[in-house]
Protein backbone atom coordinates (compact mmCIF):
# COMPACT_ATOMS: atom_id res chain seq x y z
CA UNK A 1 0.00 0.00 0.00
CA UNK A 2 1.47 3.36 -1.07
CA UNK A 3 2.41 5.77 1.69
CA UNK A 4 -0.33 8.38 1.91
CA UNK A 5 -1.39 11.22 4.24
CA UNK A 6 -5.18 11.75 4.01
CA UNK A 7 -4.76 15.37 5.17
CA UNK A 8 -2.19 16.20 2.45
CA UNK A 9 -3.43 18.28 -0.52
CA UNK A 10 -1.01 16.62 -2.95
CA UNK A 11 -1.92 13.08 -1.79
CA UNK A 12 -5.53 14.04 -2.38
CA UNK A 13 -4.71 15.29 -5.90
CA UNK A 14 -2.94 11.98 -6.70
CA UNK A 15 -5.99 10.09 -5.40
CA UNK A 16 -8.31 12.21 -7.57
CA UNK A 17 -10.16 13.57 -4.54
CA UNK A 18 -9.55 17.20 -5.48
CA UNK A 19 -9.23 18.56 -9.02
CA UNK A 20 -5.96 19.37 -10.75
CA UNK A 21 -4.84 20.04 -14.32
CA UNK A 22 -2.59 17.06 -15.01
CA UNK A 23 0.42 16.96 -17.29
CA UNK A 24 1.60 13.48 -16.30
CA UNK A 25 0.00 10.63 -14.32
CA UNK A 26 2.32 7.68 -13.82
CA UNK A 27 2.71 4.83 -11.37
CA UNK A 28 5.44 6.64 -9.42
CA UNK A 29 5.11 10.36 -10.18
CA UNK A 30 2.47 12.94 -11.07
CA UNK A 31 2.78 16.39 -12.66
CA UNK A 32 0.09 19.06 -12.58
CA UNK A 33 -0.22 22.82 -12.96
CA UNK A 34 0.34 25.01 -9.90
CA UNK A 35 -2.91 26.76 -8.87
CA UNK A 36 -0.97 29.95 -8.26
CA UNK A 37 1.50 30.03 -11.18
CA UNK A 38 4.46 32.42 -11.11
CA UNK A 39 4.58 32.20 -14.93
CA UNK A 40 2.09 30.56 -17.35
CA UNK A 41 2.66 26.78 -17.38
CA UNK A 42 4.31 26.68 -13.91
CA UNK A 43 3.85 23.10 -12.76
CA UNK A 44 4.74 20.73 -9.97
CA UNK A 45 6.18 17.22 -10.21
CA UNK A 46 5.66 15.02 -7.17
CA UNK A 47 6.18 11.42 -6.11
CA UNK A 48 2.81 9.69 -5.78
CA UNK A 49 3.76 8.45 -2.33
CA UNK A 50 3.74 10.91 0.55
CA UNK A 51 7.28 11.91 1.52
CA UNK A 52 7.65 15.12 3.53
CA UNK A 53 11.25 15.85 2.62
CA UNK A 54 14.13 14.88 0.35
CA UNK A 55 15.63 12.83 3.18
CA UNK A 56 12.45 10.76 3.42
CA UNK A 57 12.33 10.08 -0.34
CA UNK A 58 14.02 6.93 -1.66
CA UNK A 59 16.76 7.61 -4.20
CA UNK A 60 14.97 5.52 -6.87
CA UNK A 61 11.74 7.47 -6.37
CA UNK A 62 13.55 10.81 -6.53
CA UNK A 63 15.44 9.73 -9.65
CA UNK A 64 12.12 8.92 -11.32
CA UNK A 65 10.64 12.29 -10.32
CA UNK A 66 13.68 14.01 -11.86
CA UNK A 67 13.34 11.98 -15.06
CA UNK A 68 9.79 13.33 -15.44
CA UNK A 69 10.99 16.84 -14.55
CA UNK A 70 13.62 16.68 -17.31
CA UNK A 71 11.18 15.33 -19.88
CA UNK A 72 8.66 18.10 -19.19
CA UNK A 73 11.27 20.86 -18.90
CA UNK A 74 12.70 19.92 -22.31
CA UNK A 75 9.21 19.64 -23.87
CA UNK A 76 8.23 23.11 -22.62
CA UNK A 77 10.60 24.65 -25.17
CA UNK A 78 8.48 23.22 -27.98
CA UNK A 79 5.12 23.77 -26.25
CA UNK A 80 2.49 26.49 -26.52
CA UNK A 81 4.52 28.35 -23.87
CA UNK A 82 7.60 28.40 -26.16
CA UNK A 83 9.76 28.72 -23.08
CA UNK A 84 13.18 30.24 -23.74
CA UNK A 85 14.38 28.73 -20.47
CA UNK A 86 13.19 26.86 -17.39
CA UNK A 87 13.83 27.25 -13.69
CA UNK A 88 13.67 24.21 -11.40
CA UNK A 89 13.05 24.86 -7.73
CA UNK A 90 12.73 22.65 -4.65
CA UNK A 91 11.87 24.02 -1.21
CA UNK A 92 13.06 21.33 1.22
CA UNK A 93 12.01 22.45 4.70
CA UNK A 94 9.84 25.24 6.03
CA UNK A 95 12.73 27.69 6.35
CA UNK A 96 13.45 27.10 2.63
CA UNK A 97 9.89 28.17 1.80
CA UNK A 98 8.22 24.73 1.72
CA UNK A 99 4.51 25.22 2.29
CA UNK A 100 3.11 21.85 1.20
CA UNK A 101 4.79 19.05 3.18
CA UNK A 102 4.81 16.57 0.26
CA UNK A 103 8.13 16.82 -1.55
CA UNK A 104 7.80 18.45 -5.01
CA UNK A 105 9.76 20.10 -7.81
CA UNK A 106 8.58 23.39 -9.31
CA UNK A 107 9.08 23.56 -13.08
CA UNK A 108 8.84 27.19 -14.17
CA UNK A 109 8.82 28.05 -17.90
CA UNK A 110 10.71 31.27 -18.55
CA UNK A 111 10.41 33.86 -21.29
CA UNK A 112 12.11 37.24 -21.57
CA UNK A 113 10.40 39.92 -19.49
CA UNK A 114 8.11 37.46 -17.65
CA UNK A 115 8.62 39.31 -14.37
CA UNK A 116 9.86 36.29 -12.42
CA UNK A 117 13.10 36.75 -10.52
CA UNK A 118 15.06 35.18 -7.71
CA UNK A 119 16.93 37.50 -5.40
CA UNK A 120 19.31 36.93 -2.50
CA UNK A 121 20.57 39.84 -0.41
CA UNK A 122 23.99 38.11 -0.22
CA UNK A 123 24.47 38.47 -3.99
CA UNK A 124 25.21 42.15 -3.35
CA UNK A 125 27.72 41.38 -0.56
CA UNK A 126 31.48 40.83 -0.86
CA UNK A 127 32.62 37.32 -1.83
CA UNK A 128 33.79 35.20 1.13
CA UNK A 129 37.51 34.42 1.40
CA UNK A 130 38.82 31.18 -0.19
CA UNK A 131 39.66 29.79 3.30
CA UNK A 132 36.02 30.25 4.29
CA UNK A 133 34.81 28.41 1.17
CA UNK A 134 37.39 25.63 1.73
CA UNK A 135 36.31 25.24 5.38
CA UNK A 136 32.65 25.07 4.38
CA UNK A 137 33.38 22.56 1.60
CA UNK A 138 35.23 20.40 4.15
CA UNK A 139 32.33 20.48 6.58
CA UNK A 140 29.90 19.46 3.81
CA UNK A 141 32.25 16.69 2.58
CA UNK A 142 32.36 15.32 6.11
CA UNK A 143 28.56 15.39 6.38
CA UNK A 144 28.15 13.67 3.01
CA UNK A 145 30.67 11.01 4.01
CA UNK A 146 28.77 10.29 7.20
CA UNK A 147 25.52 9.80 5.37
CA UNK A 148 26.56 7.76 2.37
P1 LIG B 1 6.10 25.24 -1.85
O2 LIG B 1 6.12 26.64 -1.29
O3 LIG B 1 5.68 24.22 -0.83
O4 LIG B 1 7.38 24.88 -2.55
O5 LIG B 1 5.04 25.27 -3.01
C6 LIG B 1 3.75 24.81 -2.90
C7 LIG B 1 3.05 25.15 -4.20
O8 LIG B 1 1.85 24.43 -4.25
C9 LIG B 1 2.69 26.64 -4.33
O10 LIG B 1 3.29 27.16 -5.52
C11 LIG B 1 1.17 26.65 -4.40
O12 LIG B 1 0.67 27.61 -5.31
C13 LIG B 1 0.85 25.23 -4.84
N14 LIG B 1 -0.42 24.73 -4.34
C15 LIG B 1 -0.90 24.84 -3.08
N16 LIG B 1 -2.11 24.23 -3.00
C17 LIG B 1 -2.38 23.73 -4.23
C18 LIG B 1 -3.49 23.00 -4.76
O19 LIG B 1 -4.47 22.70 -4.08
N20 LIG B 1 -3.44 22.66 -6.07
C21 LIG B 1 -2.35 22.98 -6.86
N22 LIG B 1 -2.41 22.60 -8.13
N23 LIG B 1 -1.30 23.68 -6.39
C24 LIG B 1 -1.31 24.04 -5.09
ZN1 LIG C 1 1.15 13.88 0.50
Say if residues 88 and 105 touch (Cβ distance below 8 Å). yes
Closest by CA position to 65, among listed 141, 10, 9:
10
Q: What is the pLDDT of residue 57?
A: 96
DSSP state of 93: S
What spacing in Å lies between the alpha carbon of 35 and ligand 1's midpoint?
Answer: 6
Say if residues 97 and 90 touch (Cβ distance below 8 Å). no
Buried (b) or exposed (e) across 28-58, using 16+ Cβ within 10 A?
ebbbbbbeeebbebbbbbbbbbbbbeeeebe
Q: Please state the pTM of the whole predicted model.
A: 0.95
What spacing in Å lies between the alpha carbon of 74 and ligand 2's midpoint?
Answer: 26
d(CA 56, CA 135): 28
Nearest ligand 1 atom to the CA of 90 is 4
How would you write the pLDDT of the chain (148 residues) with one tens digit per residue? 579 999 999 999 999 999 999 999 999 999 999 999 999 999 999 999 999 999 999 999 999 999 999 999 999 998 888 889 999 999 999 999 999 999 999 999 999 999 999 999 888 899 999 999 999 999 999 999 987 5
Active site residues: 104
Q: What is the pLDDT of residue 148?
A: 54
- Contact residues of ligand 1, CB 6 A cut-off: 9, 20, 32, 34-36, 91, 97-100
Q: What is the pLDDT of residue 98?
A: 97
What spacing in Å lies between the alpha carbon of 47 and ligand 2's midpoint?
Answer: 9
Return the best residue to mutate from 15, 44, 105 for the ligand 1 pocket (most ligand atoms within 8 A of CB).
44
Task: Give the residue, by CA position, lying nearest to ligand 1 atom 13.
Answer: 34
Nearest ligand 1 atom to the CA of 91 is 4
Q: What is the pLDDT of residue 27?
A: 97
Q: What is the pLDDT of residue 123?
A: 87
Amino acid sequence: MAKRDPACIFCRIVAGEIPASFVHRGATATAFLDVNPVTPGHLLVIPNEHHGSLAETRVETWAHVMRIVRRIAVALRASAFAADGVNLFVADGEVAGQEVPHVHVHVIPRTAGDGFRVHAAAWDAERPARETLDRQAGAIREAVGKRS
